[in-house]
Amino acid sequence: MTHTATLPLSGIRVVEFTHMVMGPTCGMVLADLGAEVIKVEPLAGDSTRRLLGSGAGFFAMFNRNKKSIAIDAKDPRGREIVLKLIAGADVFSENFKAGTMEALGLGPQTLQRLNPRLVHVAHKGFLPGPYEHRTALDEVVQMMGGLAYMTGPEGRPLRAGTSINDIMGGLFGAIGALAALWQRQRTGHGQEVSSALFENNVLLVAQHMMQFAVTGQPAAPMPSRISAWALYDVFTVKDGEQIFLAAVSDTQWAAMCRAFGFDDLLADARLASNNDRVRSREWMLPLLRERFAAFGAAELAARFEAHALPHAPITRPQELFDDPHLAATGGLAPIHVPADASVAGHALDTRAPLLPITMDGQRLPVREGPPSIGEHTGAVLREAGYGDAEIAALRTAGVIAGDCA
Domain residues for the domain of 108 are: 4-204+323-401
Residue 5 clears pLDDT 80, i.e. is over it: no
Q: Is 219 among the domain residues?
A: no
Contact (Cβ atoms closer than 8 angstroms) between residue 242 and residue 235: yes
Pair 140, 256 in one domain: no
Taking residues 388-396, what's their average pLDDT?
96
**Residue 1's pLDDT band (cuts 50, 70, 90):** very low
Count of domains in the chain?
Answer: 2
Pair 85, 193 in one domain: yes
Question: In this structure, what CATH number is given to the domain that contains residue 364?
Answer: 3.40.50.10540
Q: Is 214 among the domain residues?
A: no
Pair 87, 9 in one domain: yes
197-204 vs 206-215: helix axis angle to the nearest 10?
A: 50
Domain boundary among 313, 345, 380: 313
Question: In this structure, what CATH number is given to the domain that contains residue 272?
Answer: 3.30.1540.10
CA distance 236 to 242: 4
Q: How big is the chain by its Cα radius of gyration, in Å?
A: 26
Distances (CA, A) of 22 to 49, 176, 332: 15, 14, 22
Taking residues 393-399, what's their average pLDDT?
97
Interval 341-359: pLDDT, tens: 988 889 999 999 999 999 9
Taking residues 289-304, what's their average pLDDT?
97
Q: Is 221 among the domain residues?
A: no
**Which residues in 297-347 belong to E strands, given as ranges?**
311-313, 332-337
Taking residues 182-206, what's their average pLDDT?
97
Pair 75, 174 in one domain: yes
Taking residues 21-29, what's their average pLDDT?
98
CA distance 187 to 177: 15
Question: What pLDDT, on a 0 to 100 scale, did the predictor assign at position 98?
Answer: 84
* Lowest-pLDDT range of 2-11, 105-114, 214-223, 316-325: 2-11
Interval 40-76: pLDDT, tens: 999 999 999 999 999 999 999 999 999 999 999 999 9
Residue type for position 135: T
Pair 190, 273 in one domain: no
Mean pLDDT (the chain, rounded)? 95
**Residue 3's pLDDT band (cuts 50, 70, 90):** low
Pair 172, 306 in one domain: no
Sign of CA dihedral 173, 36, 117, 180: negative
Pair 172, 236 in one domain: no
* DSSP H helix total and E strand total for the chain: 18, 14
Domain boundary among 313, 348, 377: 313
CA distance 268 to 278: 14
Residue 2 clears pLDDT 60, i.e. is over it: no
CA distance 355 to 165: 17
Residue type for position 238: K
Distances (CA, A) of 191 to 30, 88, 187: 17, 15, 10
Domain boundary among 313, 347, 370: 313
Question: What pLDDT, on a 0 to 100 scale, did the predictor assign at position 6?
Answer: 87
DSSP string, 193-248: EEEEHHHHHHHHTHHHHHHHHHHSSPPPPGGG---SSSEEEEEE-GGG-EEEEEE-
Regarding pTM above 0.85, the answer is yes
Question: What pLDDT, on a 0 to 100 scale, did the predictor assign at position 227?
Answer: 79
